[in-house]
Amino acid sequence: PDYQIAVGDRVHLRMWGAFNHEAVQVVDAQGNLFVPSLGPLRVQGVRNAELGERVEAHVKRTFRANVGVYATLEAAQPVKLYVTGFVRAPGLYPGLSSDSVLYYLDRAGGVDPDRGSYLEVSLLRGGQLRSKVNLYQFLLNGRIEPMQLQDGDTLVVGPRRHAVLVGGEVLNPYVFELEQPRVPARTIIELARPLPTATHLSIVRKSGNQRRSEYHPL
């Protein structure tokens, strides 16, 4: 419902009653639909949930009664996105403007787990930063910000930042990426999710040629 109609989208338009018409129309380069006997109607930027109301209001200006109106988005416009940075297969990939960022990352083979960042995925439009995606929010909590993509957009996966290796009595033994070089221990605990059997946290840290360890109760 929050998808905004864009140039190239296909809209199914149906009118019945005193005036009958049915067709699938493409939103033209000016962002308009051409309604027979009524002329162009600007729909670019209109939320999909409000498309029917916008078309109906336009029709009712001429046909005040005895005409039913139905309009719905049939298909979002096809687009091609560049996916680059630290992914397995950088390149230009086709899809739809309504497809998720995850779809294009998947087409590019996914984030390179040894070099790529799950915290720093940038969407560029015209060379300018449009949005950033934190994939940990999706991987751990199922949340991802919806984006409407345009032809020629670029997804860039940045280099992996700071990392901590977590093992032992946890649900998520993994190498976790961190935005900062120093974080509270509770941040790691939230990511790793200790098992009920876990009682202590052991931290092993290298400082130059020295190796230090700490031991803390949970």
Query: Which pLDDT band, with edges at 50, 70 and 90, does 62 fall under?
Result: confident
Residue closest to 153 by CA, chosen among 217, 103, 112, 111: 103
Question: Could you tell me the pTM of the whole model?
Answer: 0.69
- Cα 62 from Cα 170, distance rounded (Å): 67
Per-residue model confidence as pLDDT tens digits over 103-126 = 999 999 999 988 999 999 999 999
3-state secondary structure of 109: coil
